[in-house]
């Protein structure tokens, strides 16, 4: 992996962790190990600040999600249906372990 990819993966992971903690707390620590050249980053953020920073991203997702929702609603009202439930089946590997295969008829 390149440094940019590693940094992006690390910051994305830290952002997800921050979001989870802020869902239950009003403030959370931010810890990103090896952000750049083995330098760690530590800080904290409030839920209000996180929501402020994420507001433009949330706004940009509203229209595409609304279009997807309308597409599903049109298909449902037209009487079109489909089965999206995976059908698990079991097979034994011979050593007592049972594997569940999804989507096998």
- 25 in Cβ contact with 46 (< 8 Å): no
CB atoms closer than 10 angstroms to residue 28: 19
Q: Are strands 89-92 and 39-46 parallel, antiparallel or unpaired?
A: unpaired
Domains of the chain, residue spans: 3-77
75-90 pLDDT tens trace? 666 555 555 555 555 5
Domain 3-77: give its CATH code: 3.90.640
- 73 in Cβ contact with 83 (< 8 Å): no
pTM: 0.52
24-49 pLDDT tens trace? 999 999 888 877 788 888 999 999 99
């Amino acid at each position: 992996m390149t440094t940019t990819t590693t940094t992006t993966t690390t910051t994305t992971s830290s952002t997800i962790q921050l979001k989870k903690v802020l869902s239950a707390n009003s403030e959370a620590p931010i810890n990103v190990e090896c952000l750049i050249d083995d330098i760690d980053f530590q800080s904290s953020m409030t839920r209000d600040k996180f929501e402020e920073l994420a507001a433009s991203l949330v706004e940009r997702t509203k229209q595409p999600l609304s279009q997807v929702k309308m597409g599903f609603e049109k298909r449902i009202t037209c009487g079109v249906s489909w089965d999206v439930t995976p059908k698990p089946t079991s097979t034994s590997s011979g050593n007592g372990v049972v594997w569940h295969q999804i989507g096998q008829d």
